[in-house]
């Protein structure tokens, strides 16, 4: 399997530290608001990466943090703690906000068929780990105290800008937003490890530390949580491209200074989802969420399909028109699969199975090229082989694509069958469904008898309600 590594700017063969085993770390959400569908693009593409590694026989352990403290409105350590901002907005406590939006994030993930990582760790559970690593960085001379805060001294490193395509100018972000410049820093690129001199009198979450009461910086959270669960050598680290600098650059600086050796071998970054008028933002009032997609009549899996149609290293433009096109294409796939399900399956043909599977693995082996993997799916649908072969391949592909193809094709076919019913029968069927939902089984039985009297058999199957002409 080959993937693009932001460290080398090249597509490389993926070779884990320990043969057959992969340690994978993902920057989790900052739980101060709902995730927007841009955030979720990153998690969908990381989910494909993780599932494809497992599909290829690798034993993956994936860890994700939950940022519930320390992420300021500017990544350059200026502004307000995002969590506090969320709490003020909703007149709730920071912990209530964290709980509510963590749950909301995992609900969204479930709807998008994103697997929950093996370990999910909120930053607020690891304060002792942060203090231990920061103390060691001070001891080793990589960190200093100034104005009450603890900073990482980037001038102590041979190379700080490890991803090359970023520079000091990128750190001006916070200043452009009109937020005060931090005069305590010895070097412009230095970053906060621990805030003791809170800029906010009402910072709700604070902990005791050797340097006074305070709270951790955002970057130290990911380094420590990764090392806690995945050890001193990490195979692959993921996140959206905005995380590469300064967040991941800072993670590398402090982790390698602490460990004294190389920390993570592969960096996997997903390009952004944008709208026609620019960047996705949560500060612009109504923003695009899974809930909004559902309200507008799009099943979340359509959005997953829309994301898979493009390569993760290309930025993607969201528009309702583009989503409609994805919906039409997805429904066409379902219709084709539904007609396959009705045919006599026949035997699986090994030669064509292997050839079609090879196209699919070739696509994903080549830097997780999901759009070519979808082409491989179309190739299966068009192929001159038995329905059994096609259906078996689709089920295998869907272990990674997670588009619920066979189940949704069956559902769609049933719905179509139901809509072909005479109006009187269809009405009795829906009344019976309502009665069953209300647990009024006597009425449900009565309605079944009426349906039977009109010449239709109704039965409950694992795939849903099935109606056939008697």
Interface ranges with ligand AMP (CB under 6 A): 27, 29-30, 38-39, 41-42, 67, 239-240, 242-243, 270, 272-273, 280
Measure Cα distances from 137 to 141, 206, 250, 252, 254 in Å.
6, 21, 13, 13, 8
Nearer to ligand AMP, 23 or 385 (CB): 23
d(CA 94, CA 75): 20
Nearer to Zn ion, 31 or 222 (CB): 222
Is residue 222 involved in binding Zn ion (CB under 5 A)? yes
Picking from 423, 355, 441, 369, the residue whose alpha carbon sits closest to that of residue 400 is: 369
Contact (CB, 8 A) for 75 and 430: no
3-state secondary structure of 103: helix
Smallest distance from the beta carbon of 132 to ligand AMP, in angstroms? 24
Contact (CB, 8 A) for 271 and 312: yes
Site for Zn ion in 108-167 (CB under 5 A): none
Smallest distance from the beta carbon of 247 to Zn ion, in angstroms? 5
Task: Mention every residue, 6+ apart, whose C-beta is less than 8 A from residue 167.
Answer: 161
Smallest distance from the beta carbon of 369 to ligand AMP, in angstroms? 18
- Give the pair of three-digit tokens for residue 73: 């409105």
Q: Give the end-to-end CA distance of the chain in Å, rounded to a whole number.
A: 54
Nearer to Zn ion, 66 or 138 (CB): 66
Smallest distance from the beta carbon of 255 to Zn ion, in angstroms? 11
- Total site size for Zn ion, rule CB under 5 A: 2
Smallest distance from the beta carbon of 238 to Zn ion, in angstroms? 9
Smallest distance from the beta carbon of 218 to ligand AMP, in angstroms? 8
389 binds, among Zn ion, ligand AMP, none (CB under 5 to 8 A by kind): none
Nearer to ligand AMP, 251 or 349 (CB): 251
Q: Where do the DSSP E strands lie in 164-233?
A: 191-195, 215-216
- Give the pair of three-digit tokens for residue 265: 């071998």
Task: Calculate the dihedral angle through the C-alpha atoms of 86, 88, 94, 100, rounding to the nearest 10 degrees.
Answer: -50
3-state secondary structure of 93: coil
38 binds, among ligand AMP, Zn ion, none (CB under 5 to 8 A by kind): ligand AMP
Residue with the shortest CB distance to ligand AMP: 240
Site for Zn ion in 16-45 (CB under 5 A): 27
Nearer to Zn ion, 27 or 49 (CB): 27
291 binds, among Zn ion, ligand AMP, none (CB under 5 to 8 A by kind): none
Q: Would the CA dihedral through 348, 352, 354, 359 be positive or negative? A: negative
Q: How crowded is residue 67: how many other Cβ atoms within 10 Å of its Cβ?
A: 22
Is residue 69 involved in binding Zn ion (CB under 5 A)? no
222 binds, among ligand AMP, Zn ion, none (CB under 5 to 8 A by kind): Zn ion
Smallest distance from the beta carbon of 94 to Zn ion, in angstroms? 19
Task: Mention every residue, 6+ apart, whose C-beta is less than 8 A from residue 99.
Answer: none
d(CA 189, CA 308): 36
Nearer to ligand AMP, 76 or 240 (CB): 240
Smallest distance from the beta carbon of 128 to Zn ion, in angstroms? 19
Nearer to ligand AMP, 40 or 333 (CB): 40
**Interface residues toward Zn ion, by CB under 5 A:** 27, 222
């Amino acid at each position: 399997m080959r993937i693009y590594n932001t460290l080398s700017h090249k597509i490389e063969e993926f070779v884990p530290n320990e043969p057959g085993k992969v340690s994978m770390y993902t920057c989790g959400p900052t739980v101060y608001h709902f995730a927007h569908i841009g955030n979720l693009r990153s998690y969908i593409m990381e989910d494909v990466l993780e599932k494809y590694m497992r599909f290829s026989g690798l034993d993956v352990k994936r860890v994700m943090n939950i940022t519930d403290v320390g992420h300021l409105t500017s990544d350059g350590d200026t502004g307000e703690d995002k969590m506090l901002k969320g709490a003020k907005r909703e007149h709730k406590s920071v912990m209530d906000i964290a709980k509510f939006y963590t749950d909301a994030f995992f609900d969204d993930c479930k709807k998008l068929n994103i697997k929950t990582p093996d370990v999910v760790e909120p930053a607020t559970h690891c304060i002792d780990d942060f203090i231990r690593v920061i103390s060691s960085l001070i001891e080793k001379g990589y960190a200093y105290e100034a104005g009450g805060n603890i900073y990482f001294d980037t001038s102590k490193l041979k190379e700080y800008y490890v991803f090359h395509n970023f520079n000091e100018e990128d750190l001006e972000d916070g200043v452009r937003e009109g937020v005060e410049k931090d005069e305590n820093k010895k070097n412009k690129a230095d970053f906060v490890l621990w805030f003791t001199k809170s800029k906010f009198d009402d910072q709700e979450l604070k902990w005791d530390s050797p340097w006074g009461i305070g709270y951790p910086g955002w970057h130290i959270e990911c380094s420590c949580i990764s090392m806690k669960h995945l050890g001193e050598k990490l195979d692959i680290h993921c996140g959206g491209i905005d995380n590469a600098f300064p967040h991941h650059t800072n993670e590398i600086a402090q982790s390698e200074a602490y460990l004294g050796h190389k920390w993570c071998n592969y960096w996997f970054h997903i390009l952004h989802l944008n709208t026609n008028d620019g960047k996705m933002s949560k500060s612009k009032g109504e923003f695009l969420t899974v809930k909004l997609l559902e309200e507008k009549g799009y099943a979340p899996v359509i959005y997953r399909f829309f994301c898979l149609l493009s390569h993760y290293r290309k930025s993607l433009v969201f528009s309702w028109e583009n989503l409609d096109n994805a919906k039409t294409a997805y429904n066409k796939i379902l219709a084709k699969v539904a007609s396959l399900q009705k045919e006599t399956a026949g035997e699986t043909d090994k030669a064509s199975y292997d050839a079609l599977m090879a196209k699919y693995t070739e696509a994903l082996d080549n830097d997780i090229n999901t759009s070519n993997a979808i082409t491989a799916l179309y190739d299966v649908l068009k192929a001159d082989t038995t329905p059994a072969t096609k259906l078996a391949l689709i089920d295998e592909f869907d272990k990674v694509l997670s588009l619920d193809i066979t189940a949704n094709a069956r559902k769609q076919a049933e719905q179509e069958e139901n809509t072909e019913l005479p109006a009187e029968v269809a009405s009795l069927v829906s009344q019976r469904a309502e009665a069953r939902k209300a647990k009024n089984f006597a009425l449900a039985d009565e309605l079944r008898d009426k349906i039977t009297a009109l010449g239709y058999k109704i039965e409950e199957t694992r795939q849903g309600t099935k109606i056939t002409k008697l």
